[in-house]
Amino acid sequence: MTEAQKILTRLGAPANLAAIGVGGRWQSAAGSPLTVRSPIDGAELAAFAAAQASDVAAVVRAAGEAFRAWRLVPAPRRGELVRRLGERLRQHKADLAHLVSLEVGKITQESLGEVQEMIDVCDFAVGLSRQLYGLTIASERPEHRLAEQWHPLGPVGVITAFNFPVAVWAWNAMIALVCGDPVVWKPSEKTPLCGIACHAIAAGVAAEMPDVPEGLLGLLIGGGQEVGQAVAADVGLPLVSATGSVPMGRAVGQMVAARLGRALLELGGNNAVIVTDDANQDLALRAVLFGAVGTAGQRCTTTRRLILQRGIAREFTAKLVQAYRSVRIGDPLDERTLMGPLINRAAVEAMLAALRQAREQGGEVLHGGNEIDRPGHFVEPTLVRVSPAATIVKDETFAPILYIHEFDGLEQALQIHNDVPQGLSSSIFTTNLISAETFLSHHGSDCGIANVNVGTSGAEIGGAFGGEKETGGGRESGSDSWKWYMRRQTNTINWGSDMPLAQGVRFDL
């Protein structure tokens, strides 16, 4: 038994791993074989048959049946399921984090942080289960009440990316569950074991509550895109929440739109940090280092562009090169390591191809640029000084490449900043109030997340998370993101004995 399999067993997964889960009922699939290898050293972690598109309908049907029961359960009681889940995640935090490190290659600190994010969102959702408020609105008619209420929406399809293999499911599932919605989850085929682990934990908790219907939580592990496409196309899923690349979001968004469903899209970012001449450089350096090198550059919020004011550009770049030289790369399970591997061979190839293009477009590699010769998929974190006009900087390359640009005035910095197709996360480092407020204003950053003296990466769950433009426009996790998972109903109640029409319209016999 591999270490990963031992962890899965402790978390309640079946000894023979199965690609389909409906609550505590696991079902082996007959799709293509899926061999899971660790990006750390290429070692095989597990192998089993993947699900197929034809498996989706039955799981969605079970979710539909569960919906009819779950929507009748009072929301605070639904919160009780999530509260217990949060407790169970606390118990299994170390095991689940270890599995994330083995399967994705994240360093232990970041894997623990990811599981903590799940726990945090459970806490948030429990509170939310007593706060699914609607508004009461002043009616223009006498003796009338105008109000809104929020009802459960139905089963939610959740498609997730490899880089947050457990947290993004939790962001969606915990909110959906308290809102009264079952969840059908299609994890990334690059991280199926994390999917099995979360499902096993959740199904174990659900089995302890008699009012939880079996089909409330569904899992489908596909080997490629076909299962995700079947999820997007299924009319039994009024909402599909999809996290991943822009091409994936374009495909899923169009399929969901074609059936007039609701799509919540959380797609790629191309996040920048602006550092002005008056900034606290120490703060900026630490934030840029974590933002660009953390998770080996494989976060949607990774800092990919650094826009430096001319006065400090050379000095700040020199400090950054120095810091990059000290980054310890290697086994993510070693506490001293700061950067682990990329997810697979294709990610390494994509990074090297992007660097070739950057050089062709006039880029100068200031640090890194190479694959590291050892088992697994290790690369050097890389700094490239390049013009913001280079087309390569408009792309999200999911790897630790940081492009460095220079600017003179803030207007120019904002123009460079916003001149990319994506709009997820952004930061300015400045001690000047006017620069900070301009950055946050309607003619500042065009991103869904804009920070001052805080890096682009590492959001808290309490805020709504998501971005604009090609990032897809969705919002998940905190604030009022829950409204995506519910249907709004506007009610007008006449408690008088007259029948006035709105807008003063008269229609008397």
Q: Which residues are catalytic?
A: 266, 300
Helix (H) or strand (E) holding 384: strand 382-385
- Asked if 365 and 383 touch (Cβ cutoff 8 Å), the reply is yes
- The pair of structure tokens assigned to 111 is 């894997």
Q: What's the min distance (Å) between Cβ of 481 and ligand NAD?
A: 12
Identity of the residue, 152 or 268, whose beta carbon is nearer to ligand NAD in the bound complex: 268
Task: Candidates 175, 212, 256, 300: give the one binding ligand NAD (CB under 6 A).
Answer: 300
- Asked if 332 and 105 touch (Cβ cutoff 8 Å), the reply is yes
Residue 396 in the binding site for ligand NAD (CB under 6 A): yes
Task: Candidates 107, 112, 219, 232: give the one binding ligand NAD (CB under 6 A).
Answer: 232
Identity of the residue, 160 or 430, whose beta carbon is nearer to ligand NAD in the bound complex: 160
Binding string, 235-254, against ligand NAD, x = CB under 6 A?
--------xxx--x--xx--
> What gap in Å lies between CA 305 and CA 325, rounded to an integer?
19
> What gap in Å lies between CA 5 and CA 16, rounded to an integer?
10
Binding string, 9-48, against ligand NAD, x = CB under 6 A?
----------------------------------------
Radius of gyration (C-alpha) of the chain in whole angstroms: 24
Binding string, 405-434, against ligand NAD, x = CB under 6 A?
-------------------x----------
27 CB burial (10 A radius; 0-12, 13-18, 19+): middle
> What gap in Å lies between CA 138 and CA 144, rounded to an integer?
9
Residue 267 in the binding site for ligand NAD (CB under 6 A): yes
Residue 268 in the binding site for ligand NAD (CB under 6 A): yes
Q: What's the min distance (Å) between Cβ of 440 and ligand NAD?
A: 20
Task: Map the footprint of ligand NAD across residues 146-175, applying CB under 6 A.
Answer: 159-164
Q: Which residues contact 7 (CB under 8 A, 6 or more apart)?
A: 95, 96, 98, 99, 102, 197
Of the candidates 470, 308, 299, the one whose C-alpha atom is nearest the C-alpha of residue 388 is 308
Q: What's the min distance (Å) between Cβ of 300 and ligand NAD?
A: 3
Q: What's the min distance (Å) between Cβ of 15 and ligand NAD?
A: 25
> What gap in Å lies between CA 172 and CA 242, rounded to an integer?
10
> What gap in Å lies between CA 404 and CA 315, rounded to an integer?
13
> What gap in Å lies between CA 439 and CA 447, rounded to an integer?
10
Of the candidates 353, 154, 334, the one whose C-alpha atom is nearest the C-alpha of residue 235 is 154
Task: Candidates 150, 398, 439, 485: give the one binding ligand NAD (CB under 6 A).
Answer: 398
Q: What's the min distance (Å) between Cβ of 102 and ligand NAD?
A: 17
Task: Candidates 229, 241, 303, 426: give the one binding ligand NAD (CB under 6 A).
Answer: 229
Identity of the residue, 313 or 464, whose beta carbon is nearer to ligand NAD in the bound complex: 464
Question: Beta 425-429 vs 271-275: how paired, if at all?
Answer: parallel
Region from 33-41, 184-192, 307-315, 407-415 binding ligand NAD, contact rule CB under 6 A: 184-192
Q: List interacting residues with ligand NAD (CB under 6 A).
A: 159-164, 186, 188-189, 225, 228-229, 232, 243-245, 248, 251-252, 266-269, 300, 396, 398, 424, 471
